[in-house]
Amino acid sequence: MNGAFRSLPSVDVAMQQFAAAHPDEHAPHDLLRTSVRRALEMAREAIAHGAPPPSIAEVLQQVETLLAGLRAVRLRRVINATGVILHTNLGRAPLARSASEAVVRVAQGYSNLEFDLPNGARGSRHTAVAALLRELTNAEAALVVNNNASAVLLTLAALVTGKEVLVSRGQLVEIGGGFRIPDVLRQSGALLKEVGTTNRTYAGDFERALSPETAAILRVHPSNFIQQGFVHTPSLAEMAAVAHAHDLFLIDDLGSGAVRDTSQYGLAREPLVQESIRAGADIVCFSGDKLLGGPQAGIILGRDDLVEEIARHPLARAVRIDKLSLAALEATLHHYLWDEAEPAIPVWRMISRPAADIAREAAHWQQRLLAAGVAAYTRAGQSTIGGGSLPGETLPTTLVVLQHLHPEALAARLRMAEPAVVARIEDDHVVLDPRTVLEDDVEELLRVISVSFDAS
């Protein structure tokens, strides 16, 4: 085995031979050296496990593979044909065209992010979106951070550190990725006090749980699961009455953040941000990239004095929103103010799309695919909202079913295409849902399917 190890070239020799074999490769010297070392380490590991020593050509090929891997773009464009509108793994809400254009406009040059142009003085990055949010929701004040978990954490840290927060046992939820409400409270410095039972909590339970150490009541909207049957939760107005009778804060963590009535689309009614403000919540927190249909963001609305106190907390700078997300959020909010959500914001365009329109689209896809030699048919199916919003709620759709002997292999080939296509497998078939495919992606989708089907 020692002889096998000695047959491997030195790092310097391998680098020289690689440079001679690849004269057009312009990898920096240190990066090339690191890749050569890694390739030789892999060769030694293989020899140690009984493999024959690789040739110099095989070593150099491994170096080339490593460099190509470093050069490859990891974050790729994906066509979402799964039928899950807010697909967390695929980046949740696709942005409106105006939001994407706003991001590019701000990214390619300087902006007045924290500069007051009329006065020529330092300004606040929150000014533009805060005004829009106040107009949209009738809240006194608004603050935006990088996501909703940060919004809740910052609010608790600023207002109730070292004090008790009352939370119904039925609302001690896990919000995804292993993050749990009790953990967020603990990290903020607030003291969790559980109220009621898992399935039934009443306003009187909050009254009885009060102590001199109580500072706030927290309502957590269970946006990623449903409780049914023998359940009860007090209304937000009832909770506000208890909180304000005892000089406490009522904090409402809405999560998905709907500002449009979802029931008009045949879905369950998601609590509206505006309703929380009217019901008496002192602070309302919600996401920007769920039902709002904008960029990742955490939005804090509520009483002017409390939002100002939250904004002054040192943690606010650590979780502040960046200029690109702010630009996208501002453009998104404009669509709501001018009643353009359905045509302009992809999430609402998908939710509101008529089933008959999707059926026509699916039939068109089927005809195109059949003409290209792809075995396909259509059948009725269901789309889902996803993203921790409206759990269990579905919308009728028409699926395009691809008939293939090896559906797993076909799905994998679609995922590795350019652009990547992510579909789902049902009843041992690859199925595509037109509801979540953006209009500009249809031609590329059909091309990728045709090529992938032939190749497999």
What is the pLDDT at residue 178?
63
Beta bridge partners of 377: 401
Q: What architecture is domain 78-87+348-455?
A: Alpha-Beta Complex (3.90)
Confidence band for 1, pLDDT divided at 50, 70 and 90: low
Mean pLDDT of the 397-416 span: 95
For the stretch 14-51, pLDDT in tens is 999 999 998 888 899 999 999 999 999 999 999 988 88
How would residue 315 be classed by pLDDT, with cut points 50, 70 and 90?
Answer: very high
Instruction: Out of 70-74, 243-247, 331-335, pick the least confident.
Output: 70-74
| pTM of the complete model | 0.91
In the predicted structure, residue 224 carries a pLDDT above the cut 80: no
The mean of the pLDDT values for the chain is: 92
Assess whether pLDDT exceeds 70 at residue 456. no
Residue 3 in this model has a pLDDT that exceeds 80: no
Mean pLDDT along residues 88-110: 96
Q: Give me the mean pLDDT over the 365-392 stretch.
A: 92
- Say what the pLDDT of residue 455 is: 62
Give the mean model confidence (pLDDT) for residues 338-367.
Answer: 96
Give the rounded percent of residues in the chain with a pLDDT score beyond 90. Answer: 79
pLDDT value at residue 387: 77
Tell me the CA end-to-end span of the chain in Å, nearest whole number: 41
* pLDDT at residue 391, as a whole number: 81
What is the average per-residue pLDDT within 417-442?
Answer: 96
Which CATH number describes the domain made up of 97-344?
Answer: 3.40.640.10
Residue 144: φ, ψ to 5°: -125, 135
Please tell me the predicted confidence (pLDDT) of residue 180. Answer: 79
Q: How confident is the model at residue 225 (pLDDT cuts 50, 70, 90)?
A: low
Of 244-253, 331-340, 376-385, 446-455, which gets the smallest average pLDDT? Answer: 446-455
Locate the domains of the chain by residue range: 2-71, 78-87+348-455, 97-344
pLDDT tens digit string along 173-215?
776 666 678 888 888 888 989 998 888 999 999 999 999 999 9
pLDDT of residue 135: 96
**Is residue 299 scored above 70 in pLDDT?**
yes
